[in-house]
C-alpha cells in the first residue's frame, strides 16, 4: 500500500505530541471555564469555544487519516512470494519446517499442494486441520494469499 503525501500529513496530526496538545487544550478549556465561573460569567460558553474547536479538529484529522490509510483490497498488490516467505518464517516454519523443508513427517508437506488446491489451503489455514490450529483472525486474506504464492513458488513440479 502506498502512502500519499496527504495521508502522511494527516498521520502527523496523530503523533503523541498532537494527542498531548489536545489533552492540554482540554485542560486549558476547563481552566478557562473555572476562571469565567469565578468572575461570574458563563463557564459553558468559554469551555465550549475552546474545547469544541480543539476536539472537532482532532476528530476530523483522526477520521481523515484512518480513511486515507485504510487498506483497500481493490488497490492491493498482487500476492507476493517474498511477503509470504516472511509470514511463513514467523508463523508456519515451527511445524512445517524452514524453507518448506518438512523433515518431521508430522506436519503436511506444503510443497505437495497442487495449483488447483487453493481452496483446500485457505480452508486449512482459516479453520485448522487435525493438529494444525486455526489462523482465522490472526491472518488476513491478503496474508494467506501471500503464503499461497510462497508455497506455489516452491511446490514440487508435477
DSSP string for residues in 70-91: S--STTPPPP-HHHHHHHHHHH
Q: How confident is the model at residue 145 (pLDDT cuts 50, 70, 90)?
A: very high
SS3 9: helix
Mean pLDDT of all residues in 18-30 = 60
Statement to judge: residues 61 and 90 lie in one domain: no
State which H helix or E strand residue 57 sits in: helix 43-69
Q: Do residue 103 and residue 64 come from a single domain?
A: no
pTM of the model: 0.52
3-state secondary structure of 82: helix
The CATH number linked to 145 is 1.10.760.10
Tell whether 88 and 148 lie within a shared domain.
yes
In this predicted structure, the answer to whether residue 26 has a pLDDT above a threshold of 90 is no
pLDDT tens for each residue of 34-72: 666 667 766 555 555 555 556 666 566 556 656 666 655
Which residue range forms the structural domain that includes residue 115? 81-153
Same-domain pairing of 85 and 148: yes
Say whether both 9 and 29 belong to one domain: yes
* CA separation for the pair 11, 157 (Å, rounded): 46
Q: List the one residue out of 52, 55, 51, 75 whose CA is nearest residue 63.
A: 55
Among the three residues 43, 69, 95, which one is the final residue of a domain in this structure? 69
| Number of compact structural domains in the chain | 2
Do 92 and 148 reside in the same domain of the chain?
yes
Asked whether residue 158 is domain-assigned, the answer is: no
The pLDDT value recorded for residue 137 is 94
146 and 109 in a common domain = yes
Amino acid at each position: 500500500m502506498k502512502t500519499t503525501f496527504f495521508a502522511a500529513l494527516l498521520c502527523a496530526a496523530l503523533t503523541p505530541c498532537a494527542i498531548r496538545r489536545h489533552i492540554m487544550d482540554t485542560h486549558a478549556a476547563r481552566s478557562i471555564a473555572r476562571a469565567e465561573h469565578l468572575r461570574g460569567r458563563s463557564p459553558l460558553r468559554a469551555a465550549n469555544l475552546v474545547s469544541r474547536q480543539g476536539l472537532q479538529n482532532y476528530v476530523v484529522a483522526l477520521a481523515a487519516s484512518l480513511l486515507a490509510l485504510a487498506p483497500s483490497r481493490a488497490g492491493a498488490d498482487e500476492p507476493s512470494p517474498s511477503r509470504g516467505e516472511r509470514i511463513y518464517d514467523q508463523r508456519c516454519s515451527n511445524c512445517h519446517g524452514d524453507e518448506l523443508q518438512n523433515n518431521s513427517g508430522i506436519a503436511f508437506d506444503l510443497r505437495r499442494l497442487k495449483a488447483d488446491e487453493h481452496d483446500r489451503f485457505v480452508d486449512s489455514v482459516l479453520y485448522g486441520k487435525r493438529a494444525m490450529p486455526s489462523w482465522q483472525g490472526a491472518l488476513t486474506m491478503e496474508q494467506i494469499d501471500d503464503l499461497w504464492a510462497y508455497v506455489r513458488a516452491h511446490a514440487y513440479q508435477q
